[in-house]
Amino acid sequence: METKEHWEKLTTALTNDRISEFREEFLDMHAYDQAMYFMEQTAESRLLIYSFLSPEEVADFMENIELDDIEPFFTEMDPRFASMVFSELATDDAVDILNELEKDMVASFLTIMDNEAAHEIKELLHYEEKTAGSIMTTEFVAIYKTQTVKQVMERLKVEAPDAETIYYLYVLDEVKRLVGVTSLRDLIIADDSTLVEDIMSEKIVSVSVAKDQEDVAQMMRDYDFLALPVIDFQEHLLGIITVDDIMDVMEEEASDDYSKLAGVSDMDRPNDNALISAKKRLPWLIILLFLGMLTASLIGRFEATLEEVAALAIFIPLIAGMAGNTGTQALAVAVRGIATGDYGQQGKTKLILREAGTGIITGTVCGTVITVVIYLWKGEIFLGLLVGISIMASLIVATIAGSFVPLLMDRLKVDPAVASGPFITTINDIISVLIYFGIATAFLSYLT
């Protein structure tokens, strides 16, 4: 973390056109700190920074800027300079950024980019988003099983500077199929004349190029890998996925699930204006508005019951709110379990049974407490029993619904997070109102 004084010194060198001083101070910083300083500058100052640094030096800190914030920077650069920056970026990072840009801008950059870099980027761009192919890098070192350790080490000296990682080396056969893996440590301790096939491990964990990125992230977590090979249907090695890419995927997936749980189609970005934010939030709000109207119409159907016992209206928010809260709790547990892969088929059944048991216990306790409170407050035991029984039944049903709905959506191949908090809350409002007024109507004679 750089000090305020250091930033002020950089800014002074930048504005006074002292290139050597700026470069010395700026390049001595960590790439993350460079990115933070760069993002705080005005557009005019950033143009100066581009002129003071090489494309490679700009690429180094661009990798530390969030994808949601990066588009304006490449838009303001000179197109030729921007294309050279893309050439210096790791291929997978370049692809991630290009996916954030307009298609005509992407085509322009690819046209004027270095041919070799453009070819590598195009190979990854055609893969479907959020798959292993879209997040893998082609900058890796592959070796052949017939090579000796000495030959491999000599090759590493040449190729290592451009590789994403060299801790794992993937072994190919004569037709370039993935047949093994070895580590840099294994190579260092082996004799120079040893063949790679004699020290490699044939226990390979790999992923298909079409595999969902969330599943890849779970595999990386389960196996504690630093990198994971990506293969096609014939087991040819296409690329590797490194742990830093998986960290980005985990953040992206968590943000996506959080936005859906909040009833937002896509999380707001810092640069979004009020109109864009409203457009993202309105679809769910409109759906929930109509569901809310359904709740209101259901209450209207029990108008006669309310006229007989007006005190029933006092407890509508209490019952609906309790049902919504417990349903959201069960929903959060279920969605997290599905996202982390903690539940198999038997585990899902066990989850529903556990949540049902939880609903019975919490419903019974809350129902008993509210019955006593209403009796002491209003002096009416039957009203207390009515509200208590309604809360108990509502909490049981809401808890089961909160866990069952996301599991059902997962079974139907729909993102479980779509069963968002507001959606479950509104559904449970409807259920709790039906239970409450259904019981009240049935036992109306005891209340009047």
pLDDT category of residue 272 using cuts at 50, 70 and 90 = low
pLDDT digits (tens, 9 = 90+) for 154-205: 999 888 887 888 888 999 998 889 999 998 999 999 999 999 999 999 989 9
- Kindly tell me if the per-residue pLDDT of 79 is higher than 60: yes
Dump strand ranges (E) for 213-361: 227-231, 237-242
Tell if the pTM clears 0.75, that is, is over it.
no
Mean pLDDT of 373-402: 87
Strands of 148-282, DSSP E:
168-172, 178-183, 207-208, 227-231, 237-242
Residue 268 corresponds to which tokens in the numbers above?
């707001």
Q: How many CA atoms lie within 13 A of 235 on its CB side?
A: 12
Spatial CB neighbours of 135, under 8 Å, sequence gap ≥ 6: 92, 96, 213, 216, 241, 245, 246, 248, 249
What's the CA angle centered on 264, arms 219 and 292, to 5 degrees? 125
Express each pLDDT in 196-229 by its tens digit.
999 999 989 999 999 988 888 888 888 888 889 9
Strand partners, 229: 240
Is residue 419's pLDDT more than 60? no
**Residue closest to 256 by CA, chosen among 207, 224, 217:** 217
Residue-range domains of the chain with CATH = 4-134 (1.25.60.10), 142-243 (3.10.580.10), 274-447 (1.10.357.20)
240-254: per-residue pLDDT in tens? 998 888 887 877 766
Of 23, 1, 44, 62, residue with least CA distance to 9: 23
Are 398 and 421 in contact by the 8 Å Cβ rule? The answer is no
Helix crossing, 316-340 with 421-442: angle to 10°? 140
Mean pLDDT for 2-19 is 84
Q: What is the mean pLDDT of the chain?
A: 83
